[in-house]
Amino acid sequence: MTVRETLVRNTVWYGLVTFLGLGSGLVMSVILARGLGPERMGDYSYVLWLARVMATVATLGFAVATVRYTAAHLGRDEPGVAKGFLTLLLRRQVIYTAIVVAIAVPAIIFLAPPSLRGALIVCALGLFPITLEATYAHAVYGAQRYDLTTRVSTLKMTLHLLSAVVVVLLGGDIVGLSIGIMLGTSITAFVQRRSALRL
């Protein structure tokens, strides 16, 4: 495949996942607003924001480094070296995530309001599947296979949407929604892992 064909293919796949993400986000916000009500919806938005902040701190740059080094070595037809970099960066990511979780959980226990404490602890523990999935996904990006990451992202959006529907129908709360997100991300992290190692 030429560079031009690769760019066109990746742009189409990236555009598709962006469009699906916007649609999924809109449907999810309607479901959650109706199921949680305004006050709890505000609490859930705060929990999601804090989860994103923790995820940003936990990823640190390992995912970006994974793209750079896997792409460079796959471009030189050195898949073994690319896998070695993936393994090295993955180990460091797990260690760093463990440090962030070890700091975040006690801080949540002592500082978070009781109504949000459970959801925030679930989100902190959910940093492991989030950071692992990000590292594997960026290895797939390094292989220029945006089609695979789009499929996994679509699966993740579907799982998160289904879990939100189930939690709302069962009368669950923010903790249930956080558990649903963590389980969905754990599944997609496993799928991303298979794609990355295969490439």
How far is 67 from 129, CA to CA, in rounded Å?
18
Q: What is the pLDDT along the chain (199 residues), one digit of tens a residue?
A: 677 777 777 787 777 777 877 887 888 888 888 888 888 889 999 999 999 999 999 988 888 888 888 888 888 888 888 888 889 999 999 999 999 999 999 999 999 999 999 999 999 999 999 999 999 988 888 887 777 888 888 888 888 889 999 998 898 889 999 999 999 999 999 999 888 888 7
Rg over alpha carbons for the chain, rounded to the nearest Å, is: 18
- Inside any domain, residue 146: yes
| Residue numbers of the domain that contains 92 | 26-198
Q: How much is the pLDDT for 154? A: 84
Q: How much is the pLDDT for 157? A: 86
How far is 81 from 125, CA to CA, in rounded Å?
31
Q: How much is the pLDDT for 57? A: 93
Contacts of 154 (CB under 8 A, 6+ apart): 17, 20
Please give the backbone phi and psi of residue 76, each rounded to the nearest 5 degrees, phi first: -90, 10
Burial group, residue 132, by CB count within 10 angstroms (0-12, 13-18, 19+): buried
- Inside any domain, residue 35: yes
Q: Are 192 and 145 in contact (CB under 8 A)?
A: no
Q: How much is the pLDDT for 1? A: 65
Q: Are 55 and 123 in contact (CB under 8 A)?
A: no
Q: How much is the pLDDT for 30? A: 84
Helices (H) and strands (E) in the chain, counts: 7, 0
Which residue reads 């692992």 in tokens?
132
Tokens of 29: 């916000």
End-to-end distance of the chain based on CA atoms, in angstroms?
16
How far is 86 from 89, CA to CA, in rounded Å?
5
Count of structural domains within the chain: 1
How far is 168 from 37, CA to CA, in rounded Å?
11
- Inside any domain, residue 47: yes
Q: Are 131 and 58 in contact (CB under 8 A)?
A: yes
Contacts of 53 (CB under 8 A, 6+ apart): none
